[in-house]
Amino acid sequence: MLITAIIHDHKGLESYLGELHIEDRGKYKYVMFGENDPEAVHLLEEKGFQEIPPPKHDHLYRNHFLQEYINLIGLMGKEPSTPKWWATDIASKNRFTSKLPLLLQQFLTSVKIIQEAEFDHLIILNPSWVILDSLGKVLRNQPVRFVYLGNPSRKWEELISGWCRIILLALYTTFIILGRKVSVRKKLKRIIRDNLSRTQPYYVVKTFIYDHSFSESGTYRDVFFGSLLDYLKEKRQVLIYANILGNYKYCINKISQCSSHVILPIEALLSSTNILGALVQFLFCKIRAKREALFWGFDVSDIINHEFFRTYNGIDLYQFLHYWSTKRLLQTLSVETFLLTYENNPWEKMCMMAVKEYSPNTTLIGYQHTVVPQASANMFISENERDVIPMPDRILTVGEAPKEIMERYGNYEKGRIGASCGLRFEYLFHASTRPRKRSGHILLVLEGIFEVYNMVNYVLRELKGKSQYRVTIRTHPVLPLGHFQHKLTHHLKEVSNFTLSSHMLLKDDIDWADIVVYWGSTVALEALSMGTPVIHYESDSILSYDPLFECKHLKWVLSEKEPLIPTLDEIYSLSNERFDEEQMKAKEYLSRYFHPVTEEGLEKFLVKSRH
């Protein structure tokens, strides 16, 4: 009989292999999830085990996976249409906060390997415990004997430490918001009294405020909506309804001194009863899949329920509170139009639920303000949830290309989405194409996601010590090098041809570089708009994080096991005629992705809904 062993840690692997009797003619295979473990690989290869490499997924397979995933979440959203469900990370399908796609990928890979691979003995190393019950049910009738070497104490240590961290963070958030509620009302009391009217209708813009949202003179410039706010002010009575993500005290002082716009932080609308009531719901609610949840024909309800269990329902208290804050806003003021960014995040759905419930005649406009890679499953909805999911009356995109992507994958009703303009990307339309360079300068641009260390290690492996190349790493503001240095294979100070960027302006780094290497950063679009070739580092994730996944021009794609230098040589060896042609075609694609900011594009934000 075929044997499959599921092992979770190095100690269990050593113990299992030490007692295993190896037959010369047996087919011994293994598959490893998570980070590569060289010691484990050495132990397995010593015993004659061969790796089953991670499957490569083509575009059709990825599209199939995406649709299955969207439909799975859509079926779940059809039943519990409550604020608690829509506040979860699982319901949002956000690629940065929900691990469900990774878990489903592990589950599906394990099933297919066991069903299709030729082996006598298979070891599955480091799968998440979350998938094991569903995996056991699916394979119960297979001619395979399972050996499970789990560590229950390790699982419960993970759960308890995770729950403690989540609960303590929620209590800390509650304490902070209660304090902010008091201070912001005191600080902005005069502004609220003198500038807010209960009789006239408002155009509310829900946005985020950072330290750099204000100039030294105190002028406010919105990070997400740019020049739109000045345009709206000439046509409507505008209220900026904001989350403060910068230094809170600094931003409140700037808000109190701002004469150009009326800005109201969400904490100003929350009562102590709202905050404590939301905390009670957060602590004691229980969200579970109530029926069979099918993914690729398999019931994965146990995976979903275990993931809810592991993440303590996966609700962010601060985002959850947007429902009560928006409710109070709508009960206090007359709101004609409510504009917000559209990424299907929990806070967005909390706002939209409140609008639909307490001000149904208000026009809801969602603005797709950034790129839409295939992994942005949060931007796509299922037919199953279309009638129940909190959604804008009208969705405006930065251009025609993202509109087409959303309509292709998203099951939106006809006419719901319209192309407007790239408010955050006005600078792209002024970017001039630079002369071609062949100086060996490589720019590595990082996202604010911890896993980017894998890309840094890949480039280190390929270019460390190659003196003909100079590599500059530009980190993301929210993820400095110190946050992931311990995961790098080398300390950057010890690698002579690698350095961190010292430039304040991104443009200066792109001007320096011959080629830009990226994973999912929007910097790739800016580089391409300036005529700089780009290389996308493709991880083993089932969905593509590439914001340029539909663009084929002046762009190359490499995975972890492919060498980098041959691709660099290929780019450098392109004829000038071919290079110019690729630049032109890339520019044409970007002109469809981002429309310029025009009067016609801005007017679309004033269109009323079809109530």
Distance CA 368, CA 421 (A): 10
Q: What six digits make up the tokens of 544?
A: 């593509």
**For the chain, how big is the Rg over CA atoms in Å?**
26
Mean pLDDT of 9-20: 87
- CATH 1.10.10 corresponds to the domain 2-55+96-151: no
Mean pLDDT of 147-170: 90
> Which segment of 132-141, 263-272, 458-467 scores lowest on mean pLDDT?
132-141
> Which segment of 38-42, 233-237, 287-291, 562-566 scores lowest on mean pLDDT?
287-291
Alpha-helical segments (H) within 476-561: 506-512, 523-529
Tell me the domain boundaries of the chain.
2-55+96-151, 173-286+300-425, 431-591
The angle formed by the CA atoms of residues 85, 89 and 94, to the nearest 5 degrees, is: 130
pLDDT of residue 21: 81
pLDDT tens-digit map of 242-255:
999 989 999 999 99
Distance CA 570, CA 464 (A): 19
> Which segment of 305-309, 382-386, 428-432, 499-503 scores lowest on mean pLDDT?
428-432
Fold of 431-591: Rossmann fold (3.40.50)
pLDDT tens-digit map of 16-74:
998 888 776 778 999 999 877 888 999 999 889 999 987 778 888 999 999 999 999 99
Mean pLDDT of 259-276: 94
Cβ atoms < 10 Å from Cβ of 215: 10
pLDDT of residue 611: 47
Mean pLDDT of 425-448: 88
Burial 41-60 (b: 16+ CB within 10 A, else e): eebbeebebeebeeeebeee
Distances (CA, A) of 421 to 58, 248, 396, 415, 605: 32, 31, 8, 17, 10
For residue 99, give the nearest of 388, 450, 546 by alpha carbon.
Answer: 450
Residues 42 and 125 sit within 8 Å (Cβ to Cβ): no
- The pLDDT confidence band at residue 1, using thresholds 50, 70 and 90, is low
pLDDT of residue 205: 98
**pLDDT tops 50 at residue 323:** yes
Mean pLDDT of 177-201: 89
Residues 299 and 292 sit within 8 Å (Cβ to Cβ): yes
> Which segment of 94-108, 393-407, 421-435, 587-601 scores lowest on mean pLDDT?
421-435
pLDDT of residue 449: 87
pLDDT tens-digit map of 460-512:
999 999 999 999 999 988 889 999 999 999 999 899 999 999 888 888 999 99
The angle formed by the CA atoms of residues 166, 168 and 172, to the nearest 5 degrees, is: 115
Residues 208 and 245 sit within 8 Å (Cβ to Cβ): yes
Phi, psi of 190 (to 5 degrees): -65, -40
pLDDT of residue 80: 61
Mean pLDDT of 424-449: 88
Mean pLDDT of 340-347: 96
pLDDT of residue 63: 92
DSSP state of 450: G
Burial 102-137 (b: 16+ CB within 10 A, else e): bbbbbbbbbbebbeeeebebbbbbbbbbbbbebbee
- 2-55+96-151 and 173-286+300-425 share one CATH topology? yes
pLDDT of residue 413: 92
Q: How many Cα atoms occupy the beta-carbon half-sphere of 14 within 13 Å? A: 5
pLDDT of residue 226: 92
Contacts of 258 (CB under 8 A, 6+ apart): 214, 218, 219, 220
Fold of 173-286+300-425: Rossmann fold (3.40.50)
Cβ atoms < 10 Å from Cβ of 34: 11
pTM above 0.75, yes or no: yes
**pLDDT tops 70 at residue 590:** yes
